């Protein structure tokens, strides 16, 4: 193999090249054109280096091993990018996710979220409510009570798919702001350790992530014609009544946590029911 004319500072040149290609991947990691950009940039830089140092009076032949290593690193980054890509609409160059796969992801996410709410509920009782009499006097008026939810599995199976999906999204939207304020309150309690405070923050973030995941499921179902396209505006808090958004401010922290634990359980069960109604052949 002939030696390739190379830069007097090969590490600097190829470090810069690697940083440039990494930026392209990070900005466009879920789109196939990023792969083409990366290849074109690498070829352009190689031609540029060759032409520049070919005319130089100080050509230093360097073993192609370094070039091969850089190229392999780029190829490895491309492969990992392709493997990590997830496309709900099946775009070219992406790993296709079926509707069943999307359902499995949001169901697993909702299970983790409900598990955290259970843990926090137990810890909250331990730190702040040592008396059972106090627990018995807790109010059960949740700010999401105005959202009509089906009681029991049979009722959830009877209502329309669109209606059940709407209930799930409304519950998730209704908890976004209250959970953030709940975390702020928990961070101020000295009795509540940092680990528990981090859990409350994680719970708040998981609601936002789960809402986005459910919206992806909705888009997939609409694309397949499983449900109608009338659910487009439910992802924004503006779809809820102003009174619902203000009512939770009157609740104490324990009531808020109790209500979220209840609603997160509903969300998890509704997602399971919705999946089994639409893709019953996958784990139902």
Which of 2-16, 58-72, 171-185, 212-226 is predicted with the least confidence, judged by mean pLDDT? 2-16
Residue 229 has pLDDT above 60, yes or no: yes
pLDDT at residue 167 in the model: 94
Q: Does the pLDDT at position 194 exceed 90?
A: no
Q: Please provide the CATH number assigned to the domain covering 99-278.
A: 1.20.1250.10
What whole-number distance in Å separates Cα of residue 132 and Cα of residue 149? 29
CATH 1.20.1250.10 domain position(s) in the chain: 99-278
What does the pLDDT read at residue 169?
94
| 190: pLDDT strictly greater than 90 | no
Q: CA–CA distance from 208 to each of 87, 154, 175 (Å)?
A: 20, 28, 9
Asked whether the beta carbons of 267 and 110 are under 8 A apart, the reply is yes
pLDDT of residue 206: 95
- In DSSP terms, 60 is beta-bridged to 6
Q: What is d(CA 248, CA 199) in angstroms, rounded to the nearest whole number? A: 20
Vertex 211 angle, CA 82 and 109, to 5°: 65
pTM higher than the cut 0.75: no
Pick 144 or 45 by higher pLDDT. 144
Q: Residue 125 has what pLDDT?
A: 80
Pick the range with the lowest mean pLDDT from 79-93, 103-117, 124-138. 79-93
Compare 65 and 3 and report the one with higher pLDDT.
65
Average pLDDT of the chain is: 70
Locate 44 and state its tokens.
């352009």
Q: What is the CB neighbour count within 10 angstroms for residue 70?
A: 20
pLDDT band of 274, cuts 50, 70, 90: very high
pLDDT tens string 12-54: 444 444 444 444 334 433 344 444 444 454 445 545 544 444 4
Lowest-confidence pick of 125-134, 145-154, 178-187, 234-243: 234-243
User: Is residue 94 scored above 70 in pLDDT?
Assistant: no
Task: Give pLDDT, residue 126.
Answer: 77
């Amino acid at each position: 193999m002939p030696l390739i004319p190379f830069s007097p500072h090969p590490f600097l040149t190829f470090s810069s090249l690697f940083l440039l290609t990494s930026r392209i991947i990070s900005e466009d990691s879920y789109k196939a054109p990023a792969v083409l950009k990366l290849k074109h940039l690498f070829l352009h830089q190689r031609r540029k280096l060759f032409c520049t140092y070919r005319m130089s009076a100080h050509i230093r032949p360097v073993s192609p091993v370094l070039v091969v290593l850089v190229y392999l690193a780029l190829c490895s980054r491309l492969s990992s990018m392709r493997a990590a890509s997830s496309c709900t609409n099946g775009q070219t160059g992406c790993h296709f996710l079926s509707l069943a796969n999307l359902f499995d992801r949001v169901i697993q996410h909702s299970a983790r979220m409900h598990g955290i709410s259970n843990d926090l509920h137990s810890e909250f009782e331990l730190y702040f409510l040592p008396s059972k009499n106090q627990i018995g006097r807790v109010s059960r008026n949740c700010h999401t009570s105005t959202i009509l939810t089906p009681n029991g599995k049979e009722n959830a199976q009877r209502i329309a798919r669109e209606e059940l999906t709407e209930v799930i999204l409304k519950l998730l939207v209704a908890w976004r702001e209250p959970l953030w304020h709940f975390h702020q309150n928990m961070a101020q309690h000295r009795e509540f350790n940092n680990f528990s405070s981090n859990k409350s923050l994680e719970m708040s973030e998981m609601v936002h992530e789960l809402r986005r995941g459910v919206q992806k499921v909705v888009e997939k179902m609409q694309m397949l014609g499983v449900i109608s396209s009338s659910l487009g505006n439910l992802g924004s808090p503006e779809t809820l009544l102003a009174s619902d958004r203000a009512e939770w401010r009157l609740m104490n922290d324990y009531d808020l946590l109790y209500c979220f634990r209840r609603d997160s359980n509903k969300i998890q069960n509704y997602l399971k029911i919705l999946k089994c109604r639409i893709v019953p052949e996958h784990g139902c």
